[in-house]
Chain A
Amino acid sequence: MSGEAETSGLNIHPMDQFIVKPLFGGDTINWYTPTNVTLWMGLALLAVIALLVLGTSRRSIIPSRLQSIGELLYGFIHNMVEEVTGHDGVKYFPYIMTIFMFVLLANVLGLIPMSFSTTSHFAVTGVLAMLVFLSVTLLGFAKQGIGFLGMFWVSSAPLVLRPILALIEIISYFVRPLSHSIRLGGNLMAGHAVIKVFAGFAGALGVASVVPIAAIAAIYGLELLVAVVQAYVFTILTCVYLRDAVGGAHH
């Protein structure tokens, strides 16, 4: 990761932007050390509060700009939960709304130049996905008891195929937190690394660096789309997993 770039002509360190550093100097990172991850996660939290609490503090019939954004997001996620998980899943709307707002704001704040995108770290997305996985599994057993295991026994398939299908279903169930977290983290990390690689070209090309700078502007627009779409995908997959637990799949 380090050391190779000094010998080559291009001086590109695309992965350096993901290094976790302590905020107030020092080298050791303990669990209580405030780092740049802490800072940007806190800022994402503050942005969620600013958007939803301050935006709706002076409610009016004719909404202000901030209030209409808040209402739009609320209505959008509420519709999605109701549509995907069914009527029984609406109870869990607060959790899903929290996940969506946090991931969305963390993604978008990470796109500010020189900022730090917390959701590009698999440690962050892994915890989010693990929480979803554990809560869905526990909820499934709490709601349906041992019948939750019937999810793995595909009763519509021929009897000979069922054990094989059950094995595949079980593997795909346990791979869920992995794919759930890698999808979000991998997309953001790849996007940020691509921008950094193009930025390295811009430094090396002199006058012709107009081309990579234009490319960076275009990729930046794409990354804004990816940030929003990945937050949406993370949330809708949470809803899909939740549907298995609350038993919405039966109707």
Chain B
Amino acid sequence: MEGDIAEMGKFIGAGLATIGLGGAGIGVGHIAGNFLAGALRNPSAAPGQMANLFVGIAFAEALGIFSFLIALLLLFAV
């Protein structure tokens, strides 16, 4: 019985951890949207900022991937 409750908590925790991915979605969307807004105002400067765009997306995404990692750890390592 005790094991069942622990199992249940594991799955609930993994599900809750994936909420963090929504934050990564908001962050990445924000960066991409603002990049597009800036790029349409000054298209000639846009190609030079592609590297910054990808670095920004990567940093925002890393925190979402952490929550994905926590979900995986709860499912397979606890």
Contact = CB atoms under 8 A, between A and B. Distances in A.
A105 interface: no
Interface in A219-248: 229, 232-233, 236-237, 240
Query: Is the interface on chain A under 10, 10 to 19, 20 to 34, or 35 or more residues?
Result: 10 to 19
15 contacts: A1-B75, A80-B51, A83-B51, A179-B65, A182-B62, A182-B66, A183-B62, A186-B69, A190-B68, A232-B54, A233-B54, A233-B55, A236-B51, A236-B54, A237-B58
Contact of A187 (B54, B65, B66, B75): B65
B18 to A, nearest CB: 11
B34 to A, nearest CB: 19
A96 interface: no
A1 B54 contact: no
A237 B55 CA distance: 7
Interface string A76-109: 0000100110000000000000000000000000
B78 to A, nearest CB: 12
Contacts of B58: 183, 233, 236-237
Contacts of A80: 51
Main secondary structure of the interface of A (DSSP, over half): helix
B51 A179 contact: no
A186 B68 contact: yes
Contacts of A229: 54
B64 to A, nearest CB: 9
Contacts of A187: 65
Interface in A34-88: 80, 83-84
Contacts of A179: 62, 65-66
Interface in B30-70: 51, 54-55, 57-58, 61-62, 65-66, 68-69
Nearest to A178: B66
Nearest to A179: B62
Nearest to B58: A233
A50 to B, nearest CB: 28
Contacts of B76: 1, 15
Given A83-B51, A179-B65, A182-B66, 17 more contacts: A1-B76, A80-B51, A84-B51, A179-B62, A179-B66, A182-B62, A183-B58, A183-B62, A183-B65, A186-B65, A186-B69, A229-B54, A233-B58, A236-B54, A236-B58, A237-B55, A237-B58
